Amino acid sequence: MSEQPTQKRFNLRTLIIYLCIGAGIYSAFIGPSILKPISPVVVLPAEPTGLAIGGFQITNTILATLLADVILLAIAVFVVGRFMRSGNLVPSGFYNAFEALIEFLWNTVENAAGKWAYRIFPVPATIFLLIFVANLIKLVPGFESIGRIKEVHHGYGYAPVLLAKVGGLSIYTIDKGQRREHVAKEGKEGKEGGHGASHEEESKLCEACEIVPFLRGSATDLNFPFALAFVAVLMTQVYGVWALGIGYFEKFIPIRQLIKGGAMGVINFIVGILELILEFAKILSFGFRLFGNIFAGTLLLSIVGALTAVIVPVGLYFFEVFFGIIQAYVFYLLATIFISSATVSHHAEGAH
């Protein structure tokens, strides 16, 4: 038998990977400074996008949260809804993965809550899906890098460079090679005649610029994790009253034990006050855990991406995907445990 030498097949994916690495090396280290990545401006509060509904300003984190909501609704209507209407009993494709995820979440609630699982499941599952989608979409290129440019308030910025003009829309970037320090301009209004000078000054393009992104990770804004934490703790009290009635609040204010229990009654009353304080502490614990991890991860990805630009950010992206899923699940698991524990009578625990 004659052996024919095996010929290596042309691999398009490998070629694309090499081209992307080469383009990254050229842009970050060899090419003109306009292509070089710039370290992000670290800003804690959410920033306005310029959009408003009535007098309510739409910030970049609100816009990102609305985008996550739209994606979840689209999955529910066009993926899950279409599959349910089809009458097909064998899941496949994306729906199969989605069903596996929901089944995993359901098993967690069922093990923790027992007969209350059907009533408890919608709340923590909704919170998980929102955090999960919000954490993943913030990794899409364009988040925290595309926005409007403005003058820096202090420190230094970069010079604007016109890339293209489409109709009345001008597209700019900022040049890392033209670093400029912010200079406070005083006395302009007095010299130019008040309001006219102010309007003219605002209409001018910035000189030392920074980018205000249109989209920013939802959990990097304190309002998002604290709102979800408040909902989780509030629903804990709702389910507690639903399961145990008004007597649920004796867990926090045990008046009868204080009157009839003697010294142990006083101790139980103090423990109840501590339990009440703990409920408020849960909001802080929930909120700061999610905010701190996601904000730090986003900042790390941006800074390392600006310093290395090639290969290393890819590994960080995989790490961020894994970390975003874990943070969503931790929030979900804690909410499930707190809500399910509220449905158990504290008198039974004490007797046991």
Q: What are phi and psi of 212, to 5 degrees?
A: -100, 105
User: In the chain, what percentage of residues exceed pLDDT 90?
Assistant: 32
Check whether 192 has a pLDDT greater than 60. Answer: no
293/300 Cα distance (integer angstroms): 10
Lowest mean pLDDT segment, chosen from 25-34, 129-138, 330-339: 25-34
Q: Which one, of 184, 177, 189, 178, lies nearest residue 152 by Cα? A: 184
Task: Say whether both 247 and 338 belong to one domain.
Answer: yes
Residue that finishes a domain, picked among 156, 183, 213: 213
Lowest mean pLDDT segment, chosen from 88-97, 156-165, 181-190: 181-190
Task: Say whether both 63 and 124 belong to one domain.
Answer: yes
Task: Say whether both 329 and 227 belong to one domain.
Answer: yes
Give the E-state strand segments of the chain in sequence order. 48-53, 56-59, 147-151, 156-166, 169-181, 209-213
Alpha helices in 114-222 (DSSP H): 117-120, 122-137, 188-192, 195-203
pLDDT of residue 10: 63
Residues 6+ apart with CB under 8 A from 242: 119, 343
For residues 96-129, b (16+ Cβ closer than 10 Å) or e, as one string? Answer: eebeeeeeebeebbbebbeebbeebbebbbebbb
Q: What are phi and psi of 214, to 5 degrees?
A: -70, -30
pTM for the structure as a whole: 0.85
- pLDDT bracket for residue 185 (50, 70, 90): low
Q: What is the pLDDT of residues 98-150, one digit of tens each?
A: 889 999 999 999 999 888 999 999 999 999 999 999 999 998 888 888 898 88
Task: Say whether both 109 and 93 belong to one domain.
Answer: yes
Lowest mean pLDDT segment, chosen from 62-66, 189-193, 201-205, 331-335: 189-193
- For 129-155, the DSSP string reads HHHHHHHHHTTSTTTTTSEEEEE-SSS
Check whether 303 has a pLDDT greater than 60. Answer: yes
pLDDT of residue 34: 87
Q: Which one, of 290, 287, 294, lies nearest residue 226 by Cα? A: 287
pLDDT of residue 38: 84
**Beta-carbon count within 10 A of 44 CB:** 9
The verdict on residue 8 lying in a domain is no
pLDDT of residue 111: 92
Check whether 194 has a pLDDT greater than 80. Answer: no
- pLDDT bracket for residue 200 (50, 70, 90): very low
148/210 Cα distance (integer angstroms): 8
Residue that finishes a domain, picked among 186, 213, 240: 213
Task: Say whether both 247 and 263 belong to one domain.
Answer: yes
Q: What are phi and psi of 48, to 5 degrees?
A: -70, 140
Residues 6+ apart with CB under 8 A from 326: none
Task: Say whether both 318 and 339 belong to one domain.
Answer: yes
Task: Find the domain containing 202 and state its range.
Answer: 13-42+147-213
275/281 Cα distance (integer angstroms): 10
Q: How many domains does the chain have?
A: 2
Residue that finishes a domain, picked among 157, 190, 213: 213
Check whether 347 has a pLDDT greater than 60. Answer: no
Check whether 160 has a pLDDT greater than 70. Answer: yes
pLDDT of residue 197: 35
Give the E-state strand segments of 1-139 in sequence order. 48-53, 56-59
